[in-house]
Amino acid sequence: MKIIYITLFFFSFTCFSFAKKVKFAVDLTGQPISPNGVHITGDFQEIAGFPGGDWTSDGTPLTQEGTSSIYSIIIDLPAFRKYEYKFVNGDQFYEAEFIPIASRVGYDFNDNRWIYVDSTSTDTSFMGAIRFGENAPEGKKMIRLLVDMKNEGSSPEGVFVNANLPNWNENQSILYRFIDNIYEAIFFLDAGVFEYQFVNGRISPKIESVPNDCAVNHYRTINIVSDTVLSGVCFSSCAACNTTSTDHMSTYFEEMEISPNPAKDIIHCTFINHSAGTVELLNPVGQTITTYKSNGLNPLNIDASSLKSGIYFIRYKNEKNKVYQIKKVTLL
């Protein structure tokens, strides 16, 4: 299949004064819309001039698109930087969405969504209307790519990806580095075969040579049928670099499962990796109702028979007091 190379835009980490229009949109289909409106909160609110500063839950309202369940806003943001955000169905922070593991930043227990703005072109960058509390827009699948440049050495111009998509958004071609030498990006695609290569640099790019063991017609290939986080690989390799694990998303956060949800009287908690810790039941404003100690080996039952119907949260901490997981549960 023919690979369409992506035009790589001028790249500079110092040109923060260059602005780019970015459209954020959320799809609230199936959700009761708060009478207090729909908002977005993030680390860009202050620089974009919204009242209250960053992570203000009621300072950046979204506008309903016609009579649909989609709410959106277009914001001018400085380019060549990463932003984090969440959608809020209401105007209080506890009404913010709980983001699936695959879509989170995922490092240092960070559970925000993220986007990297790498273009100053005059069009509006738009990822699509992401379903509230889910990974992707309706009808799309999320794919998260990771590549480790440890053995290659990354170009100061950036690390990119070439793909076989005729409508590929040029502004999403660059990969972002959270830690060390690991570069990644999130894309929303139609189900089907996806072919791609990682590229090191812009002016004189080095396109990776994918080994035959993991290549189809010299390209990496995946058949996308569901939201997918790919295991990280070394540049020009089929496997992870020897001394670096890039498969962080497969082990991060998923320590506890709850059932049933919705629940009535009892909430069952099971611990995937059998890690001892503390489990807290929180009310909608984040106050602790009950605290339990778990050895991680046996299921833990939370008695919810005396609580009113509504939304509650269950927070799990390991023995080092780091939050591994927060889950939302509905009591009937």
The answer to whether the CB of 37 falls within 8 A of the CB of 91 is yes
In the block, which residue shows the tokens 């609580």? 307
* Token digits of residue 40: 């977005």
* Token digits of residue 80: 């060549």
What is the mean pLDDT of the segment spanning 122-143? 92
What is the mean pLDDT of the segment spanning 31-42? 96
Give the residue from 80, 112, 131 where a domain finishes.
Answer: 131
On whether both 246 and 261 belong to a single domain, the answer is no
Neighbour tally for 37: CB within 10 Å:
16
On whether both 242 and 264 belong to a single domain, the answer is no
On whether both 261 and 245 belong to a single domain, the answer is no
DSSP 6: P
On whether both 197 and 113 belong to a single domain, the answer is no
pLDDT at 154: 93
> Is residue 9 assigned to a domain?
no
CATH number of the domain where residue 186 is located? 2.60.40.10
On whether both 172 and 75 belong to a single domain, the answer is no
> Is residue 70 assigned to a domain?
yes
> Is residue 301 assigned to a domain?
yes
Half-sphere exposure of 49 (CA within 13 A, CB side): 5
On whether both 151 and 232 belong to a single domain, the answer is yes
CATH number of the domain where residue 279 is located? 2.60.40.1930
Q: Tell whether the model's pLDDT for residue 2 goes beyond 50.
A: no
DSSP 174: B
What is the mean pLDDT of the segment spanning 97-120? 84
Q: Tell whether the model's pLDDT for residue 320 goes beyond 90.
A: no
DSSP 249: H
Q: Where does the pLDDT of residue 270 fall: very low under 50, low under 70, confident under 90, or very high at 90 and above?
A: confident
Q: What is the pLDDT of residues 149-173, one digit of tens each?
A: 999 999 999 999 988 665 554 434 7
On whether both 242 and 154 belong to a single domain, the answer is yes
DSSP 4: B
DSSP 147: E
The CA-CA-CA angle for residues 323, 177, 27, to 5°, reads: 65
pLDDT at 10: 34
Give the residue from 131, 166, 195 where a domain finishes.
Answer: 131
- Distance in angstroms (rounded) separating the CA atoms of residues 42 and 60: 9
- Distance in angstroms (rounded) separating the CA atoms of residues 48 and 197: 35
What residues make up the domain containing 57?
19-131
- Distance in angstroms (rounded) separating the CA atoms of residues 315 and 318: 10
* Token digits of residue 262: 């919705």
> Is residue 171 assigned to a domain?
yes
pLDDT at 193: 87
Least confident of 47-56, 117-126, 203-212: 117-126
DSSP per position, 300-325? EEEE-TTSPSEEEEEEEEETT--EEE
CA 65 to chain centre: 24
On whether both 37 and 98 belong to a single domain, the answer is yes
> Is residue 68 assigned to a domain?
yes
Neighbour tally for 261: CB within 10 Å:
14
> Is residue 1 assigned to a domain?
no
Q: Tell whether the model's pLDDT for residue 72 goes beyond 80.
A: yes
Q: Tell whether the model's pLDDT for residue 285 goes beyond 80.
A: no
Q: What is the pLDDT of residues 212-267, one digit of tens each?
A: 888 888 889 988 888 888 888 999 999 888 644 444 444 444 567 888 888 889 99
pTM for this prediction:
0.72
On whether both 25 and 127 belong to a single domain, the answer is yes
> Is residue 124 assigned to a domain?
yes
Q: What is the pLDDT of residues 237-250, one digit of tens each?
A: 998 886 444 444 44
On whether both 243 and 151 belong to a single domain, the answer is yes
- Distance in angstroms (rounded) separating the CA atoms of residues 267 and 307: 12
The answer to whether the CB of 280 falls within 8 A of the CB of 288 is yes
On whether both 271 and 241 belong to a single domain, the answer is no
Nearest to 20 by CA among 159, 139, 128, 118: 118
Q: Quote the number of domains for the chain.
A: 3
Q: Where does the pLDDT of residue 70 fall: very low under 50, low under 70, confident under 90, or very high at 90 and above?
A: very high
> Is residue 13 assigned to a domain?
no
Give the residue from 113, 131, 149 where a domain finishes.
Answer: 131
Q: Tell whether the model's pLDDT for residue 206 goes beyond 60.
A: yes
On whether both 173 and 218 belong to a single domain, the answer is yes
